[in-house]
A and B are shown apart, each in its own frame.
Chain A
Amino acid sequence: MRWARVSLIWAALIAAIGVPAALAAASPQLEWRDAIYIAAGFAGIVALGLLLVQPLLIAGYLPGLSAYRARRVHHWIGGALVAALIVHVAGLWITSPPDMIDALLFRSPTPFSPFGVIAFWAVAAVAVLALFRRRLGLRTWRVVHMSLAAVIVAGSVVHAVLIEGTMETISKAALCALVVAAAFKVMTDLWMRRKRTLS
């Protein structure tokens, strides 16, 4: 019974990320894009998928991993997220430098751009701060990381929803909703737990 539950949870997670990615891979738009632009787009999709995994890991919702193990994996996936975003930005830069410069300077005419750029810098900030996690102290780290995580989730989801690209609309919306729901649940749970321990 336990085995069935464990595989069900993992299967659901793989489907939540895999289905939108597979539908994007089947997009007719790909025919008109070159390899670098396709890689950049998929790096963005991968990053969105990893955003769903991160809160589930740290809250211990993914079965089969000890708390210690889950935390380690959360760190590694954080690194993978940074790598995916570097590919995303670099690939888009190569595809159209003026469009990417516009986006990074917040003067792009498209509303989705600034949300993505803000989320990108928030991820960069978390990555840098994570290196000084011990020196910051657990409490400061937690407040800063949770605030930045909220910015990352909100920014990324708005960014993704507004884009007309290779992702199929319904599966993209579903993945975005799951990302928001997971982040919200984990953050409120943590908040409640902290409030309880303080009182």
Chain B
Amino acid sequence: MIDVALNRRSLLAAAGPVLAVGAFGLVMPARAQGLAPTQSMSGGANNYQKGAPVVNRIGKGGFWMTGTVRRAGDGAPLAGQRIQIWAHTVEGREEDQRSHGATLTDKNGAFRLEMPQIIPIFGQPHGHLAYDSGEFKTVFLRPVMRSAKDTGLEAHFILQPA
């Protein structure tokens, strides 16, 4: 369970405590009290397009964007939340309409959306995810892939009421 950021700069600083918090959240739910909300990552909103439609799959697929959405404080999974996803892929540029799509979380607060393989742009292969539906505060994430060959990427949201 790795929380949000796999940014090279923040990885060393953040990975330790984040991993610890993540593990505690799973093993000891009581400790999840006071779970801090996810902060937007810088550059997360780049090439964002409001209102991308909910889709079964972006393009031809082959790559899995996965993650969870939970509530700040008690860490309760949030069902039916809309997460928008976009990236520079083998099928299109980051700002192309067809590179954008949205999906909804299931009853466990998990989401997964198949999309085309992400390829490196602007120096690192990375995806973009947004929670932007209004009920909670908007969050933009820009997780970085460990390798351009990875065929999946994880990102987790902890939302606070808007």
Contact = CB atoms under 8 A, between A and B. Distances in A.
Contact of B90 (A32, A107, A111): A32
Interface stretch (B25-33, B54-62, B118-126, B129-137): B118-126
B4 to A, nearest CB: 12
Given A98-B46, A102-B42, A109 B119 contact: no
Interface residues of B, number: 25
A164 B118 CA distance: 13
A165 interface: yes
B124 A164 contact: yes
Contacts of B90: 31-32
Interface string A140-177: 00000000000000000000001111000000000000
Contacts of B125: 164
A29 interface: yes
B123 A109 contact: no
B46 A96 contact: yes
A163 B123 contact: yes
Interface string A17-49: 000000000000101101001000000000000
Interface in A86-100: 92, 95-96, 98-99
A77 B122 CA distance: 26
Interface in B4-56: 7-9, 41-43, 45-47
A160 B146 CA distance: 18
B142 interface: yes
Interface string B81-107: 000000011100111000000000000
A96 B47 contact: yes
A111 B119 contact: no
B43 A99 contact: yes
B95 A164 contact: no
15 contacts: A32-B119, A37-B121, A96-B95, A98-B43, A98-B46, A99-B47, A99-B121, A108-B43, A109-B7, A109-B43, A110-B122, A112-B123, A113-B123, A163-B124, A165-B123
Interface of A: 29, 31-32, 34, 37, 92, 95-96, 98-99, 102-103, 107-113, 162-165
